[in-house]
């Protein structure tokens, strides 16, 4: 199983480091209601799985875990960590380690039209792309130089870091189960989600679907399992 996807090479990636659980475990978690178990995943099990997904029976989807290791820009992680239920997090500490000079630079400028709740985002033109890329690179370079100067003067890492921009990469672990993962995917694979977090959600979906192909198929067909 290929467990790592480079979302924004070279710095942005997601790695499914560890996992447990299968499509069959979900079906068997539901079948315990009737004191029954299946040994293999066949057409009958597929029907049960689809029933659970369609009727929003959420708890059978919780007896499994997916531990991901991620490197993403802070502005992406800030959205990510809004997902509170069934998610455990641990993140690199800018108080304890010197942050690396790795910054997210967009490939293309993005324009924004419309009003809140109905924005349309489109690719900017070449001049706008040049403008944002140059501004971001210059700003990051300067910010990091100031950061290093402060550290060299003996300022604490926790204080010096406050001038680093939101596109600085950070690294974190998160662990969830298929139910909380689907809630994340439903919200973050949507066209309403920010482009950068959508790219991570798409990668997360691919990794998860390798482990639970039938559940992923039912998820695509019947939508998410509401929490």
Ligand X SMILES: Cc1cc2nc3c(=O)[nH]c(=O)nc-3n(C[C@H](O)[C@H](O)[C@H](O)COP(=O)(O)OP(=O)(O)OC[C@H]3O[C@@H](n4cnc5c(N)ncnc54)[C@H](O)[C@@H]3O)c2cc1C
Question: Which one of residues 109, 136, 143, 187 is an interface residue with ligand X (CB under 6 A)?
Answer: 187
Q: Does 85 bind ligand X (CB under 6 A)?
A: yes
Report in angstroms how near the CB of residue 202 gets to ligand X at its nearest. 14
Stretch that binds ligand X, among 93-101, 120-128, 152-160, 185-193 (CB under 6 A): 185-193
Q: Does 227 bind ligand X (CB under 6 A)?
A: yes
Long-range contacts of 187-196 (CB under 8 A, 24+ apart): 188/79, 194/76, 194/79, 195/110, 195/121, 196/8, 196/72, 196/73, 196/75, 196/76, 196/104
Question: Which one of residues 6, 192, 213, 221 is an interface residue with ligand X (CB under 6 A)?
Answer: 192
Q: Does 115 bind ligand X (CB under 6 A)?
A: no
Six token digits for residue 11:
């710095």
Q: Does 82 bind ligand X (CB under 6 A)?
A: yes
- For 203, phi then psi, to 5°, come to -70, -40
Beta carbon nearer to ligand X, 223 or 227? 227
User: For the CA atoms of 184, 185, 191, 193, what is the dihedral angle to 10 degrees?
Assistant: 30
Q: Does 83 bind ligand X (CB under 6 A)?
A: yes
Burial of 185 (0-12, 13-18, 19+ CB in 10 A): buried
For residue 188, indicate whether it is catalytic. Answer: yes
Catalytic residues, by residue number, are 188
Binding site for ligand X (CB under 6 A): 82-85, 87, 180, 183, 187, 192-193, 227
């Amino acid at each position: 199983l290929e467990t790592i996807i480079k979302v924004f090479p070279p710095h942005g990636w997601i790695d499914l480091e560890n996992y447990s659980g299968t499509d069959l475990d979900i079906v068997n978690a539901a079948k315990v209601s009737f004191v029954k178990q299946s040994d293999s995943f066949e057409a009958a099990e597929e029907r049960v799985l689809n029933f659970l997904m369609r009727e929003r029976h959420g708890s059978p989807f919780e007896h499994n875990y997916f531990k991901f290791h991620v490197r993403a820009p802070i502005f992406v992680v800030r959205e990510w960590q809004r997902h509170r239920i069934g998610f455990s997090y641990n993140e690199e500490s800018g108080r304890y380690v010197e942050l690396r000079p790795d910054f997210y630079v967009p490939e293309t400028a993005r324009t924004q039209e419309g009003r809140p709740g109905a924005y349309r985002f489109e690719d900017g033109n070449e001049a706008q792309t040049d403008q944002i890329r140059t501004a971001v690179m210059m700003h990051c370079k300067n910010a990091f130089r100031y950061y290093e100067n402060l550290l060299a003067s003996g300022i604490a890492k926790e204080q010096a870091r406050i001038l680093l921009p939101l596109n600085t990469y950070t690294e974190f672990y998160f662990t969830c189960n298929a139910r909380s993962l689907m809630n994340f995917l439903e919200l973050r694979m949507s066209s309403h989600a920010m482009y950068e977090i959508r790219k991570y959600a798409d990668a997360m979906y691919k990794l998860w679907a390798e482990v639970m192909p039938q559940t992923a198929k039912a998820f695509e067909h019947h939508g998410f399992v509401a929490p």
